[in-house]
Structure 1
Amino acid sequence: MDTLAWDKQGGLLPAVVQDASTLRVLMLGYMDRAALLATMEGGEVTFFSRSRQQLWRKGEQSGNVLKLVSVETDCDQDTLLVMAEPAGPTCHLGRSSCFPNAPHDVLSALDARIAGRERQRPAGSYTTTLFEAGVRRIAQKVGEEGVETALAGVVQDDDALLGEAADLLYHLLVLLRARGLSLADAKAVLQSRGS
């Protein structure tokens, strides 16, 4: 903490908050030493409110906290990148991000949604019916979608291929979840291979 450039901006550092799963930029806040320490010790992202001149833990009233995953600094030691898991919308307008058009990893967002469906099992959800049918049925769907994707690649147009590829990816994510795995686990394997 002592190596950070606190004196550049009057004791405050900008803190860019990014969703650890989807990589979407969620918000920008400011941290002083006390806010960074509270974040590191408490595990929930805390900022220094410039308008109220006090610490505030994100979501302390709404319940939409940001659970800390990691913090890193930029090359000049004067900006923080906070990776967090949001527990609800981050923006006070009820949006997931204060930057509504911020890019994100669509597959990771889908994986998170599938994980939620697995936990909650809402009635009427196709994903719920897959989980309740079990691993064998889900694996069968992955096989069917794989064949349909391969066939579309050979004999159909680009739109058909893209549609089948999307179906295959969705069912593959469901299969991973049914086995207690995630997209992040598959990405880790790819990363270990140097991809």
Structure 2
Amino acid sequence: MRPGVLLYGPPAAGKDTVTAALAELDARYVPFHRLKVGSGKSAGYRMGTQEELAGLEARGDVVYRNKRYGNVYVVDRPGLEQAMEGGKIPIVHLGQVAGVEQVGALFPARWVRVLLWCSRASTAERSRQRGDTDTAARLTAWDATQADLAPYPQAGWEVRVDTDVTKPRDAAQQIDAFIRSAVAQP
């Protein structure tokens, strides 16, 4: 079964940074660009319209959707199919456990569930360092992520990385090693 990575964690935990480190390690790793319907930051997203979203929903092609920061974010079947072409390994960033569970259940792949974590103070500092204008909203999202994670079994994460103490390249190597061993198993 084709592999993919479900990368979960609070804002500023290092999802983009670890994704970049994975891509440097092996060109098969590619970021999955979710469809974003709304405004604001467009880098790292496929910007879409309400009409496009309605079409995906009508065809049953929405695997997971969530609302945050006044926008709708979508993991869609056609986008995942395209991201996996040619043996690529998509890395899907998610901020909700429901998204991890839903993508894992509704799209056939050997999904590796990775928990990236950092302290609330690190989220605040990293958010300020990267120039976010909505750090308060990101801290609210950090709180929601911690609450969302609380009932989820720790065994549900195949790889867990504390980005307060683990360098991005080391995190990428841990994730890659797990994927290589998981894919090698019959």
Greater radius of gyration (CA): 1
Whether these two folds match at TM > 0.5 is: no
The TM-score with structure 2 as length reference comes to: 0.28
TM-score (norm 1): 0.27
- Structure holding more strand per residue: 2
